[in-house]
Structure 1
Amino acid sequence: MTKLFRPLPFAVLTFGILLHAHGDLILAGGGSPLAAAVFLFSALPYVIALIALRRHPESWIAALAAGAVLLMMDLAVFRSVLISPALSAGLLALLVEPLVNLLLALPFGWYLGRVMARG
């Protein structure tokens, strides 16, 4: 049964990177060095989780949990800024959210997955 779910963290983390590529490069008009820098900074937590998954394939549950937490944070910010903006400072969330993902969401998700894997 676990063999069935092992590719799932790779798919979730790749979807997160593609989501940022679409939002930061395609929707923003692409091409500019600032858009590329924002994309690289936004995708960094997903890349770190992919590297950790590659180095420690037995930690696939931790990678899945980290990817899910990162994706939930991203989707919540995208919704609050792009779909139904409620605050005028919503764009600030797009700049702060990658740092929060990197410093809080990624370690929390990885720790949550490690706890879930222990049972």
Structure 2
Amino acid sequence: MMSSSKVTDYFSVKKGHESKLSKKPKSQVKHVPKITESQQTDSNKHAEKLHQKQLNVLRTFDMKWEYGPCVGVSRLERWQHADQHNLNPPLAIKKLIEDHSTDEEYTQCVWNSYEL
């Protein structure tokens, strides 16, 4: 008759360790870092700087008379008019206007708020 012996009688057992076969796969949850208040403030400051820089570029476009008159027309209409007359308006201006097509700060010239 065989004596009842255990595997653990021959091999040392390390407590707190499970065998590789009995481990269940852990769900893979990616750690998403929390945005701190100072990071959010920095992000808002960056967005505001970008906004102001874009508006300055558009105002500069408004002031360049080589692209034709800007009073009474939208910036996009002026850009298209200049393009039709081979005045080579910057493509970046058109893209900027089209990317913000619902915002009057971007679509209307600097003189828009003044009465004619």
TM over 0.5: no
Q: Which has the higher helix share?
A: 1
Q: Return the TM-score normalized by structure 2.
A: 0.29
Structure number with the bigger relative contact order (C-alpha 8 A, sep ≥ 6) is 1
Q: Return the TM-score normalized by structure 1.
A: 0.28
Greater C-alpha radius of gyration: 2
